[in-house]
Amino acid sequence: MPGGTVISSEELKQEIPLTEGEEENREIYGRILREMKELLHTQCPEKKADKLETYLLEYWDQLNKKPRKCFYVLEEMSFFLSELYDACAARKKDADFPGKAELRNDIYRAVNAEALRKLCLEFGLTGIRRLSDRKQEENRRGEYVVSSVKQFVEAHYGDSICLEELAADIGLSPNYVRSLFKESEGITINDWIVEFRMGKACELLRDRRLKVKEISRMVGYENSSYFCSVFARRFGASPNEYRGEILG
Protein backbone atom coordinates (compact mmCIF):
# COMPACT_ATOMS: atom_id res chain seq x y z
CA MET A 1 0.00 0.00 0.00
CA PRO A 2 2.75 2.57 0.79
CA GLY A 3 4.47 4.16 -2.15
CA GLY A 4 1.26 4.80 -4.12
CA THR A 5 0.09 1.19 -4.54
CA VAL A 6 -3.34 1.22 -6.17
CA ILE A 7 -6.14 -0.17 -4.03
CA SER A 8 -8.45 -2.30 -6.19
CA SER A 9 -11.88 -3.55 -5.21
CA GLU A 10 -10.90 -7.05 -6.38
CA GLU A 11 -8.03 -7.17 -3.90
CA LEU A 12 -10.37 -6.22 -1.08
CA LYS A 13 -12.62 -9.19 -1.85
CA GLN A 14 -9.81 -11.74 -1.55
CA GLU A 15 -9.17 -13.81 1.54
CA ILE A 16 -5.72 -12.53 2.49
CA PRO A 17 -3.66 -14.80 4.81
CA LEU A 18 -1.17 -13.31 7.26
CA THR A 19 2.30 -13.08 5.78
CA GLU A 20 5.52 -13.75 7.69
CA GLY A 21 5.88 -11.09 10.36
CA GLU A 22 2.31 -9.89 9.82
CA GLU A 23 1.22 -11.06 13.28
CA GLU A 24 3.87 -8.86 14.90
CA ASN A 25 2.91 -5.96 12.62
CA ARG A 26 -0.73 -6.39 13.52
CA GLU A 27 0.11 -6.04 17.21
CA ILE A 28 1.92 -2.76 16.53
CA TYR A 29 -0.97 -1.35 14.53
CA GLY A 30 -3.44 -2.70 17.07
CA ARG A 31 -1.66 -0.82 19.85
CA ILE A 32 -1.77 2.45 17.89
CA LEU A 33 -5.47 1.99 17.11
CA ARG A 34 -6.31 1.21 20.76
CA GLU A 35 -4.55 4.38 21.87
CA MET A 36 -6.44 6.41 19.27
CA LYS A 37 -9.76 4.99 20.43
CA GLU A 38 -8.91 5.62 24.09
CA LEU A 39 -8.13 9.19 23.11
CA LEU A 40 -11.78 9.71 22.16
CA HIS A 41 -12.78 9.23 25.80
CA THR A 42 -10.09 11.24 27.58
CA GLN A 43 -10.94 14.32 29.62
CA CYS A 44 -8.33 16.69 28.11
CA PRO A 45 -9.99 17.91 24.90
CA GLU A 46 -7.43 20.62 24.22
CA LYS A 47 -4.73 17.94 23.78
CA LYS A 48 -6.72 15.49 21.66
CA ALA A 49 -6.07 16.98 18.23
CA ASP A 50 -2.29 17.01 18.62
CA LYS A 51 -2.24 13.49 20.05
CA LEU A 52 -4.48 12.10 17.32
CA GLU A 53 -2.27 13.61 14.65
CA THR A 54 0.75 12.01 16.34
CA TYR A 55 -0.93 8.59 16.40
CA LEU A 56 -2.05 8.79 12.78
CA LEU A 57 1.42 9.85 11.65
CA GLU A 58 2.91 6.99 13.67
CA TYR A 59 0.50 4.60 11.97
CA TRP A 60 1.66 5.70 8.53
CA ASP A 61 5.27 5.76 9.59
CA GLN A 62 4.89 2.10 10.55
CA LEU A 63 3.38 1.42 7.13
CA ASN A 64 6.47 2.85 5.49
CA LYS A 65 8.68 0.59 7.62
CA LYS A 66 6.52 -2.53 7.62
CA PRO A 67 4.08 -2.57 4.69
CA ARG A 68 0.68 -4.22 5.12
CA LYS A 69 -2.02 -5.53 2.86
CA CYS A 70 -4.35 -2.68 1.93
CA PHE A 71 -7.32 -4.74 3.14
CA TYR A 72 -6.19 -4.44 6.76
CA VAL A 73 -5.42 -0.74 6.50
CA LEU A 74 -8.80 0.06 4.95
CA GLU A 75 -10.67 -1.94 7.56
CA GLU A 76 -8.74 -0.48 10.49
CA MET A 77 -9.17 3.10 9.32
CA SER A 78 -12.81 2.48 8.51
CA PHE A 79 -13.53 1.08 11.98
CA PHE A 80 -11.63 3.85 13.76
CA LEU A 81 -13.18 6.70 11.79
CA SER A 82 -16.63 5.14 12.20
CA GLU A 83 -16.12 5.10 15.96
CA LEU A 84 -14.92 8.69 15.83
CA TYR A 85 -18.00 9.56 13.78
CA ASP A 86 -20.28 7.96 16.38
CA ALA A 87 -18.58 9.95 19.13
CA CYS A 88 -19.31 13.15 17.20
CA ALA A 89 -22.82 12.14 16.12
CA ALA A 90 -24.62 14.12 18.82
CA ARG A 91 -23.42 17.34 17.23
CA LYS A 92 -25.43 18.95 14.48
CA LYS A 93 -24.16 17.99 11.04
CA ASP A 94 -22.84 20.67 8.70
CA ALA A 95 -21.24 20.94 5.29
CA ASP A 96 -17.71 20.10 6.42
CA PHE A 97 -18.73 16.90 8.20
CA PRO A 98 -19.75 14.03 5.88
CA GLY A 99 -22.40 11.43 6.55
CA LYS A 100 -21.26 8.04 7.84
CA ALA A 101 -21.98 6.21 4.57
CA GLU A 102 -20.23 8.95 2.61
CA LEU A 103 -17.22 8.68 4.90
CA ARG A 104 -16.93 4.92 4.41
CA ASN A 105 -17.26 5.31 0.65
CA ASP A 106 -14.51 7.94 0.64
CA ILE A 107 -12.23 5.56 2.53
CA TYR A 108 -12.70 2.77 0.01
CA ARG A 109 -12.40 5.14 -2.95
CA ALA A 110 -8.93 6.26 -1.86
CA VAL A 111 -6.60 5.43 -4.75
CA ASN A 112 -3.36 5.16 -2.79
CA ALA A 113 -1.80 5.38 0.64
CA GLU A 114 -1.25 9.13 0.47
CA ALA A 115 -4.89 9.81 -0.41
CA LEU A 116 -6.09 7.65 2.47
CA ARG A 117 -3.61 9.22 4.89
CA LYS A 118 -4.83 12.70 3.93
CA LEU A 119 -8.49 11.68 4.31
CA CYS A 120 -7.89 10.12 7.73
CA LEU A 121 -5.94 13.11 9.00
CA GLU A 122 -8.47 15.65 7.76
CA PHE A 123 -11.52 13.83 9.06
CA GLY A 124 -9.80 12.66 12.24
CA LEU A 125 -8.66 16.14 13.22
CA THR A 126 -12.04 17.65 12.33
CA GLY A 127 -13.77 15.03 14.47
CA ILE A 128 -11.44 15.47 17.44
CA ARG A 129 -11.87 19.24 17.33
CA ARG A 130 -15.62 18.75 17.31
CA LEU A 131 -15.31 16.59 20.41
CA SER A 132 -13.09 19.22 22.01
CA ASP A 133 -15.57 22.00 21.21
CA ARG A 134 -18.43 19.94 22.59
CA LYS A 135 -16.57 19.15 25.79
CA GLN A 136 -15.76 22.81 26.31
CA GLU A 137 -19.38 23.71 25.64
CA GLU A 138 -20.53 21.10 28.17
CA ASN A 139 -18.03 22.43 30.71
CA ARG A 140 -19.34 25.98 30.26
CA ARG A 141 -22.91 24.76 30.61
CA GLY A 142 -21.97 22.73 33.68
CA GLU A 143 -20.31 25.75 35.27
CA TYR A 144 -23.42 27.82 34.59
CA VAL A 145 -25.72 25.22 36.12
CA VAL A 146 -23.53 24.73 39.21
CA SER A 147 -23.23 28.47 39.76
CA SER A 148 -26.98 28.98 39.30
CA VAL A 149 -27.89 26.14 41.67
CA LYS A 150 -25.58 27.44 44.38
CA GLN A 151 -26.83 31.00 44.03
CA PHE A 152 -30.43 29.80 44.29
CA VAL A 153 -29.71 27.71 47.38
CA GLU A 154 -27.78 30.52 49.05
CA ALA A 155 -30.79 32.79 48.53
CA HIS A 156 -33.44 30.24 49.58
CA TYR A 157 -31.80 27.80 52.00
CA GLY A 158 -34.24 28.85 54.73
CA ASP A 159 -37.19 27.87 52.54
CA SER A 160 -38.46 24.56 51.24
CA ILE A 161 -36.48 23.90 48.06
CA CYS A 162 -37.71 21.55 45.34
CA LEU A 163 -35.74 20.61 42.25
CA GLU A 164 -38.56 21.58 39.90
CA GLU A 165 -38.66 25.13 41.24
CA LEU A 166 -34.88 25.40 41.17
CA ALA A 167 -34.67 24.12 37.57
CA ALA A 168 -37.46 26.47 36.47
CA ASP A 169 -35.50 29.38 37.90
CA ILE A 170 -32.48 28.33 35.80
CA GLY A 171 -34.61 27.64 32.73
CA LEU A 172 -33.62 24.00 32.24
CA SER A 173 -35.28 20.63 32.87
CA PRO A 174 -34.97 19.12 36.38
CA ASN A 175 -33.30 15.94 35.12
CA TYR A 176 -30.77 17.90 33.07
CA VAL A 177 -29.91 20.16 36.01
CA ARG A 178 -29.59 17.16 38.33
CA SER A 179 -27.34 15.30 35.90
CA LEU A 180 -25.05 18.24 35.09
CA PHE A 181 -24.64 19.21 38.73
CA LYS A 182 -23.74 15.66 39.77
CA GLU A 183 -21.31 15.29 36.87
CA SER A 184 -19.59 18.60 37.67
CA GLU A 185 -19.53 18.44 41.47
CA GLY A 186 -19.51 14.72 42.19
CA ILE A 187 -22.39 15.18 44.63
CA THR A 188 -26.16 15.35 44.23
CA ILE A 189 -28.02 18.64 44.53
CA ASN A 190 -29.90 17.39 47.59
CA ASP A 191 -26.67 16.39 49.32
CA TRP A 192 -25.12 19.75 48.51
CA ILE A 193 -28.15 21.56 49.94
CA VAL A 194 -27.83 19.54 53.15
CA GLU A 195 -24.12 20.37 53.38
CA PHE A 196 -24.81 24.06 52.84
CA ARG A 197 -27.59 24.11 55.44
CA MET A 198 -25.46 22.28 57.97
CA GLY A 199 -22.68 24.79 57.43
CA LYS A 200 -25.10 27.64 58.05
CA ALA A 201 -26.43 25.87 61.14
CA CYS A 202 -22.91 25.66 62.56
CA GLU A 203 -22.49 29.39 62.05
CA LEU A 204 -25.82 30.14 63.74
CA LEU A 205 -25.03 27.88 66.70
CA ARG A 206 -22.29 30.30 67.65
CA ASP A 207 -25.00 32.75 68.61
CA ARG A 208 -26.12 31.38 71.98
CA ARG A 209 -29.17 33.61 71.95
CA LEU A 210 -30.68 31.42 69.22
CA LYS A 211 -32.53 28.26 70.20
CA VAL A 212 -32.03 25.07 68.23
CA LYS A 213 -35.66 25.20 67.05
CA GLU A 214 -35.09 28.68 65.68
CA ILE A 215 -31.93 27.63 63.91
CA SER A 216 -33.73 24.62 62.48
CA ARG A 217 -36.35 26.85 60.85
CA MET A 218 -33.73 29.37 59.71
CA VAL A 219 -31.91 26.71 57.68
CA GLY A 220 -35.04 25.22 56.12
CA TYR A 221 -36.14 22.51 58.57
CA GLU A 222 -39.62 22.93 60.04
CA ASN A 223 -39.19 19.71 62.02
CA SER A 224 -36.47 20.38 64.57
CA SER A 225 -36.17 16.68 65.49
CA TYR A 226 -35.38 15.82 61.89
CA PHE A 227 -32.91 18.71 61.77
CA CYS A 228 -31.16 17.35 64.87
CA SER A 229 -30.91 13.86 63.38
CA VAL A 230 -29.44 15.20 60.13
CA PHE A 231 -26.99 17.36 62.09
CA ALA A 232 -25.93 14.42 64.27
CA ARG A 233 -25.33 12.20 61.23
CA ARG A 234 -23.18 14.90 59.69
CA PHE A 235 -21.12 15.92 62.74
CA GLY A 236 -21.45 13.02 65.16
CA ALA A 237 -23.00 15.28 67.78
CA SER A 238 -26.35 16.94 68.41
CA PRO A 239 -26.64 20.72 67.85
CA ASN A 240 -26.52 21.33 71.63
CA GLU A 241 -23.51 19.02 72.03
CA TYR A 242 -21.78 20.78 69.17
CA ARG A 243 -22.52 24.14 70.75
CA GLY A 244 -21.34 23.04 74.21
CA GLU A 245 -18.38 20.80 73.46
CA ILE A 246 -17.00 22.10 70.19
CA LEU A 247 -17.73 25.79 70.55
CA GLY A 248 -17.03 25.74 74.28
Tens of pLDDT along 170-224? 998 999 999 999 988 999 999 999 999 999 999 999 998 999 999 999 999 999 9
pTM over 0.75: no
Structural domain contains residue 143: no
For residue 195, the model assigns a pLDDT of 96
In angstroms, the CA 182 to CA 75 distance is 39
Residue 63's pLDDT is 72
Shared domain check, 128 and 238: no
pLDDT value, residue 107: 74
Tell me, what's the pLDDT at 41? 66
Q: Are residues 41 and 117 in the same domain?
A: yes
Rounded distance, CA 103 to CA 17, Å? 27
List of the chain residues with pLDDT < 50? 1-20, 91-95
Number of independent structural domains in the chain: 2
Q: What is the pLDDT of residue 3?
A: 41
Do 118 and 37 fall into the same domain? Answer: yes
**Do 199 and 160 form a contact (C-beta atoms < 8 A)?**
no
- Residue 25: φ, ψ to 5°: -60, -40
User: Could you write out the DSSP letters of every residue in 24-88?
Assistant: HHHHHHHHHHHHHHHHTT-S-HHHHHHHHHHHHHHHHHHHHHS---HHHHHHHHHHHHHHHHHHH
- Domain holding 210: CATH number? 1.10.10.60
Domain range holding 112? 9-135
pLDDT of residue 16: 36
Alpha carbon of residue 66 to chain centroid? 36
Contacts of 221 (CB under 8 A, 6+ apart): 197, 227, 230
In 10 A of CB 86, how many CB atoms? Answer: 12
213 alpha-carbon distance from chain centroid? 44
